Chain A
Amino acid sequence: MTKLAKRIFGTRAIVWSRRIKGFWEEYRHNKIGLAGLAILGVYILVAIFAPLLTPYDPISSKDIADGYSVPEWMAFFSQYKHLPRTMEISMKWIVTEASDAVSVIKNEDNELVVFYNGTGSHSIILTSVFLYPYTPPEKFLVNFEWWAEDVTDARYRMEFFTMNPAGSKFSLWSYPPMLFSPSNTNWTSVTIYSTTEELLSRLGLPWTAIVANEIFNEEGEYKFQLQMQFTSDSTTSGTAKLHFEKARLKIYGLLHGLLGTDSAGRDIASQVIYGSQISLAIGLTSAILSTFLGILVGVVAGYAGGFADEGLMRTVDILLCLPVLPILLALISLFGTSVWYLVMLIALFGWLGLSRLIRSVVLSLKEMPFIECARAAGASKFYIMLRHMVPNVLPVALAALVLAVPAAILTEAAISFIGLGDPSTPSWGRMLNYAFTLGGFRNVGWLVNRGIKSMAWWWIIPPGLAITIITLGFVFVGHAVDEVINPRLRRRR
């Protein structure tokens, strides 16, 4: 088997390895080229290890922190220092007050079951304490699940409130809303958003107030309390059994991660990281496809000549008259925005210049003695094209290939930036589109409330820089490859 492989690839492999070695010998003295390779290396590593670098999904994980939260390292500046970080607390309940007729069972999952068995009015207060060490947040969320069973001859009332260090009470939720006699209920999940109008009116605050600001107005020890009152109407004792589970508080941070969040509270760093996958995939695939097309057309037109040459080159002439970007935009808006469709379109318009170049190289190769030898030895046209033409135009194509990648990346970025990109891919162009159209250029509201005027620069600059650096990386490499392959350029230096 190996013998066969050696017979097929042997000498050829040696020739190619020598060529590559020689190329590298030249290339490694080119500083810009090495810098470009280093940049690309970093991007490729980031793209491969994206899932390890960030825990968040770039598109679906919203509300990781508050919208427009600034990068965490901004805490270096004093006015950002004490801004809230995202806190998720599952409440640990302690019984602070209880009548005899009421008892509580807790299990390790922090699930409570409150039993009542008695006559008359009784109550129990459960308290959960936590330390809030930051300045006021903009929003928070509380959720829990509860249900009642075995309620006979008893009424109950639950109230959920929070108490700040100064001792003011804010009643966030109660059940039943009016005094009627509830009986058993189904499992109910309750979510209290701090930003609802319902909560504002419940707390009697003006509509301009920010509930989270009012409640968590200073750092210190906050209490969440759950008060349950039971009344039995009958002379015999009534019973009730209330389940209360998974009580959780989430305070949305205003400082988050490496690069903050966008308007929907998505992590920007993870979007930037995943964007490298898309950019590299689009850039490389469409560049390879278009280079392949360019070589194919160039070699066929150059070597076959005659009718094929005329037809292909006139097609190229016509296609070169087309305004590429407007037509790409039109085709995308008509036939869908899928990434792979975009790749094909970019490739379809990307090979024109290269095919002309390759054709001219082939035309000069055609007159060389070794081709004549091959022809005299009875080689078919197809064989000569594949074995003699293609390997000899590959160096020219390589430089074009490397320079086609940034062009494709920029085209994709521009299309996504306009808003015609694939909405299901986290590309940098799409991020810039969102930042541009969804409020990255407005004064960030919560910062204005704190006396700082600033746009969401952490949403605009990172994706733009990511595009710029990756395209520059490819241009550096392309420039260096060009210098190595075209000695004419090298001599000038």
Chain B
Amino acid sequence: MREYLIKRILVSLLIIYIIATMQFIIFQVVSPINPVDMYMFSDPRFRPEMRDIVENTFGFNQSMSTRYLKYLQSMFTWNFGFSFMTMLPVSGEMSWRLVNTVLLLGSALVATIMVGIPIGILAASRRGTKVDVFAIGSGIFAWGVPTFFIQLLALLLLSYYSYVWFGFSIFPHGKMTSVPPPADAFGYMADVGWHLALPLITLVVAGFGSWALYTRNLLLDALTQDYIVTARAKGLSERTVLYRHAFRSTLPPIVTMITLAVPGIVTGAIITEFVFSWPGIGQWYITALLNGDYPVVQAVIFVYTVLMVLANIVADLLYGVLDPRIRVGVRR
């Protein structure tokens, strides 16, 4: 087990290293856009003579190998350098934006699971009924409907049109707080909650179906197993059969799915944050991309990758813990 863990961590570090290197190659070696040009272009007050100074400030005049080493060092030490746009350290902005993003997407993930899995269980236990049809339908819906369209519609109806129809917005147009934000702590929290509601609800509506369908299919599979027949034959109540026997056996794949969905807390936010102008990582990422702010872009992708890799390791380990049949590390 320990050996496996060490091997796994080493492989993960290798993956992170490979991806960081690929990023360096893409953004700083083969990129058709020169960041210095981009920077000089961003402000008309920069004169051509100042090019050297800019190159020197950002270290673009150093050799590629030095830059590569410095890049690796800064990536792995959570330093990330300075943003071209704001001239502030990327790591500082990263930390507060990360909080905002996790607040939105984390609560959305929890809510989606809390809604999706019970519906899936209900659908499996009442197979062929309306609940089942609803679960299948919501699964298809989650597959096929663009989330951002649901969000745009919700924004249009519940925020903009509600103002026209009722004279007030049921939900705000976007952003995380009102302008100016309420001064007292309680008011501030309520305000953030009010701004959080619509993105949260739309994410749940768009996403719970896939969880419901997944749970339903797993559970139906489990319900056809022989040990369920045994349990029923023993005279156990249907409830015990469903939760203690069937659902228990579907936990490992569900937990795996949940762990693998965790990095989505950060990566899945781009479009939602764009729609609701939520000041998180995703919105930052898009602005950085449109402005050629490579330090930010690199940092965000790096953080994304680290999270994905971490989640993969955790998922593997949890699977082993939950399902003793999988003896991780003994034989792959």
Chain A residues within CB distance 8 Å of chain B = 317-318, 320-323, 325-327, 329-331, 333-335, 403, 406, 410, 413-414, 417-420, 432, 436, 441, 443, 453-455, 457, 460-461, 464-465, 467-468, 471-472, 474-476, 479, 492
For B220, the chain A residues whose CB sits under 8 A away are: 492
For A476, the chain B residues whose CB sits under 8 A away are: 140, 144
Pairwise interchain contact B148-A414, C-beta atoms closer than 8 A: yes
Mark B26-51 against chain A: 1 for CB-CB distance below 8 A, else 0: 11000111000000000000000000
| CB of B5 closer than 8 Å to a CB of A | no
Pairwise interchain contact B300-A326, C-beta atoms closer than 8 A: yes
**10 A-B Cβ contacts within 8 A?**
A321-B305, A321-B309, A329-B270, A406-B144, A414-B148, A420-B289, A436-B152, A464-B146, A471-B145, A475-B143
How far in angstroms is the closest Cβ of chain B from A217?
27
Pairwise interchain contact A432-B161, C-beta atoms closer than 8 A: no
Given A418-B274, A467-B146, answer yes or no on A475-B308 (Cβ-Cβ < 8 Å): no
* Known contacts A322-B308, A460-B153, A492-B127; 10 further A-B pairs (Cβ under 8 A): A325-B270, A329-B286, A333-B290, A417-B271, A418-B286, A453-B164, A455-B160, A455-B164, A467-B149, A471-B144
Q: Top 4 nearest A-B pairs by Cβ distance?
A: A464-B149, A323-B304, A475-B144, A472-B144
| CA gap between A457 and B164 in the complex, in Å | 13
| CA gap between A1 and B232 in the complex, in Å | 66
| CB of B228 closer than 8 Å to a CB of A | no
| CA gap between A418 and B282 in the complex, in Å | 11
How far in angstroms is the closest Cβ of chain B from A192?
35
Per the 8 Å Cβ criterion, residues 267-311 of B in contact with A are 267, 270-271, 274-275, 285-286, 289-290, 297, 300-301, 304-305, 308-309
For B152, the chain A residues whose CB sits under 8 A away are: 432, 436, 460, 464
Residue of A with least CB distance to B267: A323
| CA gap between A413 and B149 in the complex, in Å | 10
| CA gap between A301 and B219 in the complex, in Å | 32
| CB of B155 closer than 8 Å to a CB of A | yes
* Cross-interface CB contact of B19 among A321, A417, A436, A465, cutoff 8 Å: A321
Pairwise interchain contact A323-B144, C-beta atoms closer than 8 A: no
For B144, the chain A residues whose CB sits under 8 A away are: 406, 468, 471-472, 474-476
How far in angstroms is the closest Cβ of chain B from A437?
10
| CA gap between A147 and B29 in the complex, in Å | 61
| CB of B263 closer than 8 Å to a CB of A | yes
By secondary structure, the A interface counts as: helix
| CA gap between A468 and B145 in the complex, in Å | 5
Mark B218-257 against chain A: 1 for CB-CB distance below 8 A, else 0: 0010000000000000000000000000000000000000
For A334, the chain B residues whose CB sits under 8 A away are: 26-27, 31-33
Pairwise interchain contact B312-A417, C-beta atoms closer than 8 A: no
| CB of B110 closer than 8 Å to a CB of A | no
| CA gap between A211 and B246 in the complex, in Å | 74
How far in angstroms is the closest Cβ of chain A from B329?
17
For B312, the chain A residues whose CB sits under 8 A away are: 320-321
Most-contacted residue by chain B among A318, A323, A436, A479 (CB, 10 A): A323
Pairwise interchain contact B156-A460, C-beta atoms closer than 8 A: yes
| CB of B18 closer than 8 Å to a CB of A | yes
Pairwise interchain contact B305-A323, C-beta atoms closer than 8 A: yes
| CA gap between A464 and B46 in the complex, in Å | 43
| CA gap between A460 and B309 in the complex, in Å | 38
For A322, the chain B residues whose CB sits under 8 A away are: 19, 305, 308
Per the 8 Å Cβ criterion, residues 134-175 of B in contact with A are 140-141, 143-146, 148-149, 152-153, 155-156, 160-161, 164, 173
Given A323-B301, A417-B148, answer yes or no on A464-B143 (Cβ-Cβ < 8 Å): no
For B275, the chain A residues whose CB sits under 8 A away are: 436
Given A321-B15, A323-B263, answer yes or no on A441-B156 (Cβ-Cβ < 8 Å): yes
* Cross-interface CB contact of B140 among A318, A454, A475, cutoff 8 Å: A475
How far in angstroms is the closest Cβ of chain A from B202?
13
For A417, the chain B residues whose CB sits under 8 A away are: 148, 271, 274
How far in angstroms is the closest Cβ of chain A from B84?
14
